[in-house]
A and B are shown apart, each in its own frame.
Chain A
């Protein structure tokens, strides 16, 4: 009825749009239409990416006995909320969510601010040793975390900070990637003239930072914030070492504890895994486009 009417219009405009793209586009490949094979392959990858996540939700909505049957369940059951509720209490997930939010929140905010300031200096200011210091920043990205956990652990043990959040937060306040990311962004997003203009007006470096750099960097700061939040939320090795699974866990530590029982309740474990992933999937559903853009932007100039 109404759907038949507007249909011819897109078909008429489509070739025109393609031609315009062809002549204007400086991008490679982007002008070529994907054929059916492309959609089939993408469909397979979509299934591969989302399949395990969807299936964990299905398993979380079932009774454990149903999971120990062939064929495995393919559709949702009715136990979802019961399992979520049980996982929530059994794995201390309420505390874990609060802890992870605190840790990820503090470290992302600090990393974003410190990275913007340092990234600005590396992108736009001239000073002796800039090249060498930047090399150190990039070099630190290659140092594996395993190299620092032993002394850090000794430190935490010495200070009797085991099972306390500051032992997770403190080492996660810097990110070499963040400095690098902000530098790459500011090199192209912040015109030199703008800084010079502020300088001519007599602005001090801190004023330039506050009134010129931060506003210009805002989009990249948002992306970096989300990326670090995801990373910090998912961090496993270090929290696993210093936090206990029942006392004061982060979500990841609590999840690791879930699988450990002697008679593990599988649907309960899946409920926990699902719960631990949901906040990030929501972030992705809302800001996925920006996160994708951020990763791609960081990559090109890298």
Chain B
């Protein structure tokens, strides 16, 4: 708990009169009080807006305005070389990208990378949170350790994993060779490269999600477990019937956050093969929508088309959000009945 040793001192112009006024306060005194009271009212009424306004002003300038402007730009032909020179083209940017095989390829890759990074990540996070919820020696140590990858940047993590996934001298192929499996071409095969890119994401985020689950687990009242134990539920049954249902809102929250994150994957595939960069591998085998946007906007210099991709990503996210909302409503109503 925070200590509150700094009580506010009475202000100079406070409502309490400086000297005890015998009998009726003078007219001037009354006016002064009325003025103070008006100022007081104004303060109460308007200061909340003053307190939240910096956030909203900055958000308007750097969040909302760009959001809308991206939509506007997506209806124009705009080149990186002359960004102010905009030519109205209607929906042509959208039809162009929808006709582009690389767009659908990128959409598919984003989906598959999203699934193979999010599902194992959240399952492992759930498992490790369950273990951390036991009474353990040095439990704080383990919490800090599993969060350490979160402190590592995308760039540093990608560089390290590129080396670990190296074809000839990489640590991982060396390990596979040791257990009798042949070397895997982590950079050039479709599935193996997507798994490798997902591994970087999983490595960075599992600990973070585990801590969020752990926090939710610790908020589950003990009575639930006790009554389940009285009914003869085993540890595993308690986990399935008490822990998981109580975690449902938290799980949903992490699914939404991870989905949003997965839809924007950019740095990991960009840095996974320094020579192919924006194309996401020689065959575009792990090019995500984020990379495709970057390639269209900054490599091919079509900012209008890049804007159309950005808005398409946004619409996809909204659809995902609605689906999530509907599923959670369903889950809630089915558990209530």
A144 contacts B263, C-beta separation under 8 Å? yes
Q: Can you sample 25 A-B contacts with CB below 8 Å? A: A28-B133, A28-B224, A29-B220, A49-B145, A49-B146, A52-B149, A72-B169, A117-B51, A118-B52, A127-B45, A146-B293, A150-B73, A150-B310, A151-B73, A153-B303, A174-B55, A174-B59, A206-B47, A218-B2, A234-B153, A276-B153, A281-B148, A284-B147, A289-B140, A292-B140
Q: Does A179 contact B (CB under 8 A)?
A: yes
A114 contacts B55, C-beta separation under 8 Å? yes
User: What are the 5 closest A-B residue pairs judged by CB atoms, nearest first?
Assistant: A202-B14, A288-B144, A148-B66, A205-B47, A34-B134
Please measure, in the bound complex, the distance between the C-alpha atom of A149 and the C-alpha atom of B135, giving whole angstroms: 46
Please measure, in the bound complex, the distance between the C-alpha atom of A146 and the C-alpha atom of B293, giving whole angstroms: 8
Residues of A within 8 A of B151 (CB): 230, 234, 277, 280-281, 283-284
Residues of A within 8 A of B65 (CB): 151
Q: Does B28 contact A (CB under 8 A)?
A: no
What residue of chain B has the Cβ atom nearest to residue A145's Cβ? B264
Q: Does B162 contact A (CB under 8 A)?
A: yes
A151 contacts B214, C-beta separation under 8 Å? no
How many chain A residues sit at the interface, stated as a range, is: 35 or more
What residue of chain B has the Cβ atom nearest to residue A230's Cβ? B151
Q: Chain A nearest CB: distance from B203 CB in Å?
A: 7
Contact for A125 among B9, B51, B136, B161, CB less than 8 A: B51
Please measure, in the bound complex, the distance between the C-alpha atom of A71 and the C-alpha atom of B148, giving whole angstroms: 27
A205 contacts B147, C-beta separation under 8 Å? no
Residues of B within 8 A of A170 (CB): 62
Residues of A within 8 A of B70 (CB): 147-148, 150-151
Q: Does A157 contact B (CB under 8 A)?
A: yes
**Interface set of A (CB-CB < 8 Å, partner B):** 18, 21, 25-34, 38-39, 41-42, 45-46, 48-50, 52-53, 55-56, 59, 67-72, 114-115, 117-118, 120-122, 125-127, 130, 133, 136-137, 140, 142-154, 157-158, 170-171, 173-174, 176, 179, 189-190, 194, 197-198, 201-209, 211-212, 215-219, 230, 233-234, 236-237, 240-241, 251-252, 255-256, 258-261, 264, 266, 269-270, 272-274, 276-277, 280-281, 283-285, 288-289, 291-292, 295-297, 299-300, 302
Please measure, in the bound complex, the distance between the C-alpha atom of A218 and the C-alpha atom of B51, giving whole angstroms: 18
Contact for B147 among A72, A146, A291, CB less than 8 A: A291
| Given contacts A34-B131, A151-B70, A211 and B157 within 8 Å (CB-CB) | no
Q: Does B222 contact A (CB under 8 A)?
A: yes
What string of 1s and 0s marks CB contacts (under 8 Å) between B294-312 and chain A? 0001100001001100110
Residues of B within 8 A of A33 (CB): 134-136
Q: Chain A nearest CB: distance from B169 CB in Å?
A: 5
Contact for A117 among B54, B73, B169, B271, CB less than 8 A: B54
Residues of A within 8 A of B321 (CB): 142
Contact for B162 among A122, A259, A302, CB less than 8 A: A259
A215 contacts B6, C-beta separation under 8 Å? yes
Q: Does B29 contact A (CB under 8 A)?
A: no
| Given contacts A234-B154, A270-B160, A125 and B218 within 8 Å (CB-CB) | no
A69 contacts B14, C-beta separation under 8 Å? no
**Chain A binding site: helix, strand, loop or mixed by DSSP?**
helix
- How many A-B pairs fall under 8 Å by CB? 368
What residue of chain B has the Cβ atom nearest to residue A42's Cβ? B142
Residues of A within 8 A of B160 (CB): 52-53, 55-56, 270, 273
Q: Does B102 contact A (CB under 8 A)?
A: no
What residue of chain A has the Cβ atom nearest to residue B140's Cβ? A289
Contact for B250 among A32, A34, A256, A299, CB less than 8 A: A299
**Interface set of B (CB-CB < 8 Å, partner A):** 1-11, 13-16, 43-45, 47-52, 54-56, 58-59, 62-63, 65-67, 69-70, 73, 78, 83-84, 127-128, 130-136, 140, 142-164, 168-171, 174, 177, 203, 207-208, 211-212, 214-222, 224-225, 242-243, 250, 253, 256, 260, 263-264, 266-267, 270-271, 274, 290, 293, 297-298, 303, 306-307, 310-311, 313-314, 317, 321
Residues of A within 8 A of B52 (CB): 117-118, 121-122, 133
B131 contacts A42, C-beta separation under 8 Å? yes
Please measure, in the bound complex, the distance between the C-alpha atom of A216 and the C-alpha atom of B290, giving whole angstroms: 41
A38 contacts B211, C-beta separation under 8 Å? no
Please measure, in the bound complex, the distance between the C-alpha atom of A143 and the C-alpha atom of B313, giving whole angstroms: 10
Residues of B within 8 A of A31 (CB): 135, 222
Residues of A within 8 A of B317 (CB): 142, 144
A152 contacts B54, C-beta separation under 8 Å? no
A171 contacts B62, C-beta separation under 8 Å? yes
Please measure, in the bound complex, the distance between the C-alpha atom of A28 and the C-alpha atom of B49, giving whole angstroms: 41
Please measure, in the bound complex, the distance between the C-alpha atom of A219 and the C-alpha atom of B2, giving whole angstroms: 8
Please measure, in the bound complex, the distance between the C-alpha atom of A70 and the C-alpha atom of B142, giving whole angstroms: 32
Please measure, in the bound complex, the distance between the C-alpha atom of A72 and the C-alpha atom of B274, giving whole angstroms: 21
Please measure, in the bound complex, the distance between the C-alpha atom of A197 and the C-alpha atom of B243, giving whole angstroms: 42
Residues of A within 8 A of B2 (CB): 189-190, 215-219
- Of A46, A148, A151, A176, chain B has the most CB atoms within 10 Å of the CB of A151
What residue of chain A has the Cβ atom nearest to residue B178's Cβ? A71
B161 contacts A52, C-beta separation under 8 Å? yes
Residues of B within 8 A of A171 (CB): 62
Please measure, in the bound complex, the distance between the C-alpha atom of A270 and the C-alpha atom of B160, giving whole angstroms: 7
A289 contacts B267, C-beta separation under 8 Å? no
| Given contacts A52-B161, A68-B168, A212-B4, A153 and B83 within 8 Å (CB-CB) | yes
